[in-house]
């Protein structure tokens, strides 16, 4: 066992004294201390174990400490830890090759970034330079990252205090359960969401719109799988007006939905794809943009005015190669699809039969949401205090949940087993009973 640290040299004391946290008022924070992890489990300093059904920030697709990824990083660290982006470097080339192997035909180049926000930042920049147009249309129910343009392209509350970039317009995207279009079924939601998007484009002046930027399946906003035909309809509108489509696959890419890319499940062809998280599960920070041949050709003669010191960082690239090779060899994407279809989906549906607090279950692969309501008829969301009961109840039972607004997102690593799903379902079951007693 590790030696007891000297007084004050423990994770929580140091954190509270010196670490400034994201998206929070700093005063009353009491972060959970995590000391280690393996597969779908993490543990704290005292050795208390938690089943990680959050995948942290929905990024540990391959599970914690996958030995092949750790080995790939270690091996690269012994060879060369860092090199400027201007050099050709084997791990970088291999990472780009592996990524484009899973991308649609005609998308053969990758620009590497440090994470998802700067992936969107650079995708937006490419779209503007390629089209010579300024405006970016994105969804109100979205998150695209915490940098200049990405946070203003974001639709949720995080945009509002950060609105310093210009040229961003928002539209409502499909969400049948809380329809912005008074729709009764998916076909209506689809048709009306497309008509609304069309009106937004017309009113903004379609010839001023560079790109429509969408999360293929909005994630943090609630796992909002678009209805059949929606993304194909967006493509049609985009083609009609010479507008590009950027699909943000930061949360959904690399196995989360049981496909390599979420858009593989839809009839849509993107022009630019932003990615991060699952590409190497965040073992070393990395993100990037997959670029269509046509857009890449724009920058054959013309300078691309963007770059980052750590673009294509060797340790991050080795982690990508290790991750994508292990995912392919071990059938990890197929596992996500199978466990989703056979265990998570049916298990959550059974919980919804039993628990009136579940208003809707939706998702696929290892990407699900439970919408918690006070009343199924009115669909009134449960309160923030209720969500504290849910979160604390899960933690007390050894489950690390992902909660957002009035929802539990059921988002374990893609390597999750049916036994682990059964354990988690039993925890959700007990916690929902406690919640319902409190309502
Ligand atoms: N896009 C989506 C869909 C995301 O979910 C996130 C992060 O949660 C981002 C972009 C931003 O990625 P990062 O935090 O790596 O900058």
Roughly how many angstroms between the first and final C-alpha of the chain, as a whole number? 44
Per DSSP, 371 falls in state: E
Distances (CA, A) of 39 to 54, 332, 426: 13, 12, 20
- Considering only the top CATH level, what class is 11-65+331-438? alpha beta
C-alpha closest to that of 317 among 278, 290, 273, 286:
286
pLDDT on residue 370? 98
pLDDT on residue 2? 58
Rounded to the nearest angstrom, the distance between the alpha carbon of 22 and the centre of ligand 1 is 13
Residues 6 or more apart whose CB falls under 8 angstroms from that of 88 comprise none
380 forms beta bridges with 375
Judged on CB neighbours under 10 Å (0-12, 13-18, 19+), 44 is middle
Note whether ipTM > 0.95 here: yes
Judged on CB neighbours under 10 Å (0-12, 13-18, 19+), 166 is exposed
For the domain 67-329, what is the CATH code?
3.40.640.10
pLDDT on residue 314? 98
Supply 114's token pair: 């440090």
pLDDT on residue 1? 54
pLDDT on residue 4? 76
Residues 6 or more apart whose CB falls under 8 angstroms from that of 417 comprise 40, 339
The CB of 409 under 6 Å from ligand 1? The reply is no
pLDDT on residue 293? 98
pLDDT on residue 6? 87
Long-range contacts of range 156-165, CB-CB < 8 Å, 24 or more positions apart?
A: 156/220, 156/221, 158/23
The CB of 139 under 6 Å from ligand 1? The reply is no
Rounded to the nearest angstrom, the distance between the alpha carbon of 354 and the centre of ligand 1 is 34
Cα distance between residue 123 and residue 111, in whole Å: 9
- pTM of the complete model: 0.98
Residue nearest to atom 10 of ligand 1 (CA): 144
The CB of 116 under 6 Å from ligand 1? The reply is yes
The CB of 121 under 6 Å from ligand 1? The reply is no
- Note whether 77 and 315 are within 8 A (CB): yes
pLDDT on residue 382? 98
Could you list the pLDDT tens digit for every one of the 439 residues in the chain? Answer: 556 778 899 999 999 999 999 999 999 999 999 999 999 999 999 999 999 999 999 999 999 999 999 999 999 999 999 999 999 999 999 999 999 999 999 999 999 999 999 999 999 999 999 999 999 999 999 999 999 999 999 999 999 999 999 999 999 999 999 999 999 999 999 999 999 999 999 999 999 999 999 999 999 999 999 999 999 999 999 999 999 999 999 999 999 999 999 999 999 999 999 999 999 999 999 999 999 999 999 999 999 999 999 999 999 999 999 999 999 999 999 999 999 999 999 999 999 999 999 999 999 999 999 999 999 999 999 999 999 999 999 999 999 999 999 999 999 999 999 999 999 999 999 999 999 999 9
Please identify which residue in the block is written with the tokens 């503007």.
128
- Note whether 244 and 211 are within 8 A (CB): yes
Domain with CATH 3.40.640.10 in the chain: 67-329
Cα distance between residue 293 and residue 263, in whole Å: 18
At residue 410, the 3 state secondary structure works out as strand
Long-range contacts of range 194-200, CB-CB < 8 Å, 24 or more positions apart?
A: 194/230, 194/233, 194/234, 194/237, 196/171, 196/172, 197/137, 197/171, 197/173, 197/234, 197/237, 198/237, 200/137, 200/169, 200/171
Kindly write down the DSSP assignment for every residue of 43-92, as one continuous string: E-TT--EEEESSHHHHT-TT-BT-HHHHHHHHHHHHH-S---TTS--HHH
The CB of 143 under 6 Å from ligand 1? The reply is yes
The CB of 57 under 6 Å from ligand 1? The reply is yes
Q: How big, in percent rounded to 5, are the helix, strand and coil portions of the chain?
A: 45, 20, 40
Domain with CATH 3.90.1150.10 in the chain: 11-65+331-438
Residue nearest to atom 1 of ligand 1 (CA): 144
Rounded to the nearest angstrom, the distance between the alpha carbon of 153 and the centre of ligand 1 is 12
Cα Rg for the chain, rounded, in angstroms?
A: 22
């Amino acid at each position: 066992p590790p030696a007891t640290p000297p007084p004050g040299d423990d994770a929580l004391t140091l954190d509270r004294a010196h670490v400034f946290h994201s998206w929070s008022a700093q005063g009353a924070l009491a972060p959970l201390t995590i000391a280690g992890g393996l597969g779908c489990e993490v543990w704290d300093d005292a050795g208390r174990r938690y089943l990680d059904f959050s995948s942290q920030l929905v990024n540990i697709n391959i599970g914690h400490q996958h030995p092949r990824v750790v080995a790939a990083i270690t091996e690269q660290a012994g060879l060369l830890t860092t090199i400027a982006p201007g050099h050709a470097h084997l791990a970088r080339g291999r990472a780009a090759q592996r990524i484009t192997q899973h991308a649609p035909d005609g998308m053969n180049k990758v620009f590497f970034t440090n994470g998802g926000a700067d992936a969107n930042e650079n995708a937006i920049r490419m779209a503007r330079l390629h089209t010579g147009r300024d405006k970016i249309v994105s969804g109100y129910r979205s998150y695209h990252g915490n940098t200049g343009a990405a946070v203003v392209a974001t639709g949720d509350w995080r945009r509002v205090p950060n609105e310093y970039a210009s040229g961003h317009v928002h539209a409502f995207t499909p969400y049948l359960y809380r329809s912005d279009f008074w729709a009764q079924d998916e076909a209506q939601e689809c048709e009306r969401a497309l008509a609304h998007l069309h009106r937004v484009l017309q009113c903004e002046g379609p010839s001023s719109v560079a790109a429509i930027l969408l999360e293929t399946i909005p994630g943090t906003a609630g796992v909002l799988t678009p209805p059949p035909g929606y993304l194909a309809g967006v493509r049609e509108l985009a083609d009609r007006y010479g507008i590009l489509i950027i699909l943000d696959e930061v949360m959904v890419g690399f196995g989360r939905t049981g496909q390599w890319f979420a858009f593989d499940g839809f009839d849509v062809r993107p022009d630019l794809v932003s990615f991060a998280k699952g590409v190497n599960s965040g073992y070393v920070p990395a993100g990037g943009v997959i670029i269509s041949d046509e857009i890449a050709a724009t920058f054959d003669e013309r300078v691309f005015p963007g770059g980052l010191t750590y673009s294509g960082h060797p340790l991050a690239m080795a982690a990508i190669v290790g991750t994508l090779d292990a995912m392919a060899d071990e059938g990890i994407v197929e596992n996500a699809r199978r466990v989703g279809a056979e265990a998570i989906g049916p298990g959550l549906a059974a919980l919804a039969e039993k628990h009136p607090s579940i208003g809707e279950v939706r998702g696929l692969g290892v990407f699900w949401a439970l919408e918690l309501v006070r009343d199924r008829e009115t669909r009134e969301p449960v309160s923030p205090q209720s969500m504290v009961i849910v979160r604390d109840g899960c933690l007390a039972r050894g489950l690390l949940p992902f909660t957002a607004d009035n929802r539990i997102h059921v988002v374990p690593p893609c390597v999750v087993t049916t036994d682990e799903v059964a354990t988690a379902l039993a925890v959700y079951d007990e916690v929902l009973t406690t919640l319902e007693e409190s309502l």
